[in-house]
Amino acid sequence: MAQDLIRVLLFLHLSFLCSASAAVGDPTPAPWPHQFHAVLFMNYSGALSLIDLWYDWPGGRNFNIIRDQLDGPPFYDLEWNNGTSFFYTLDSPRSCRSVQVGVGILRPNWLDGATYLGQQTVDGFLCNVWTKADFIWYYEDVVTKRPVHWVFYTGRAAHVMIYEEGAVLEDAKWQAPVYCFQKGKEESREHQRINYDAVHQIVDQKMSLGVLHGL
Ligand SMILES: *[C@@H]1O[C@H](CO)[C@@H](O)[C@H](O)[C@H]1NC(C)=O
Ligand SMILES: *[C@@H]1O[C@H](CO)[C@@H](O)[C@H](O)[C@H]1NC(C)=O
């Protein structure tokens, strides 16, 4: 009961914020293409990484293949729309952890209702800038409407280096490895390879983004 009330109050509050700030004629962000591939240069307080992002809305799945700077083989974050995420490595030592994140992947129109903040030049591109619920600041190229940059409230910043609309990763690559489904391996030493800080940050971020799903 109390939870429902809080939800309703939060919704009214956010609706008010949205209607108060959305001026007629403000540009709106382009919805995400239903499938795309992006290469993201990430900077989290000076810790750099490259992410291959494969977004597949019809497939109900989202993939982050993460390479930390000079840190060897990639780390895989495979997210399904049913709320299950798999975090794993494919190279030795192999490890996997599945997590119930509680939210699905972002909808293509997840930026609907974002608050327009005006124009700014970022990474050399003139961009329209929006914020959504103080979770994310989103920069889109004025001319091409492609995303150029976004920053999460945590300070995690993405610079879009490659953006391929309609690109689809072959099905076989979406298969989590067999050791993700083997019970009793959870305590295995092999799991130490996984950077749990990174996992927690990703999960935190997903939980927060989950709030955006309801808006
Ligand atoms: C990464 O971000 C920090 C601020 O958090 C900044 O000082 C640094 O120059 C950035 N590094 C790169 C390579 O962009
Ligand atoms: C969600 O979907 C994936 C891929 O089909 C599957 O491996 C996983 O077990 C599912 N999770 C739940 C909770 O059903």
What domains are there in the chain, each with its CATH number?
28-213 (2.50.20.30)
The count of other CB atoms within 10 Å of the CB of residue 141 is 19
Establish whether residue 81 lines the binding site of ligand 2, counting it when its CB lies within 6 angstroms of any ligand atom: no
Q: Which residue has the higher pLDDT, 201 or 176?
A: 176
E-strand ranges in 30-114 read 35-44, 47-56, 61-68, 75-80, 84-89, 95-100
Q: Which of 107, 131, 129, 108 lies closest to 119, judged by CA?
A: 129
Give just the sign of the alpha carbon dihedral 34, 41, 202, 22. Answer: negative
Q: What angle do CA 64, 114, 85 make, to 5 degrees?
A: 25
State the closest ligand 2 atom to the C-alpha of 61, by its place in the atom list counted from 1: 4
Task: Give the pLDDT band (50/70/90) at residue 38.
Answer: very high
- CA of residue 164 to ligand 1 center, whole Å: 26
Mutate to test the pocket of ligand 2, among 76, 78, 79, 82 (most ligand atoms within 8 A of CB): 82
Integer Cα distance of 131 and 11 in angstroms: 17
Establish whether residue 98 lines the binding site of ligand 2, counting it when its CB lies within 6 angstroms of any ligand atom: no
Mean pLDDT of the chain: 84
- CA of residue 117 to ligand 1 center, whole Å: 23
158-175: average pLDDT: 98
Q: How far is CA 213 from CA 42, 81, 103, 209, in A?
A: 23, 12, 8, 7
Q: Check residue 209 and give its pLDDT.
A: 59
Q: Check residue 115 and give its pLDDT.
A: 96
Task: Give the pLDDT band (50/70/90) at residue 8.
Answer: very low
**Whose C-alpha lies nearest to ligand 1, atom 3?**
46
Establish whether residue 46 lines the binding site of ligand 1, counting it when its CB lies within 6 angstroms of any ligand atom: yes
- Is pTM beyond 0.85? Reply is no
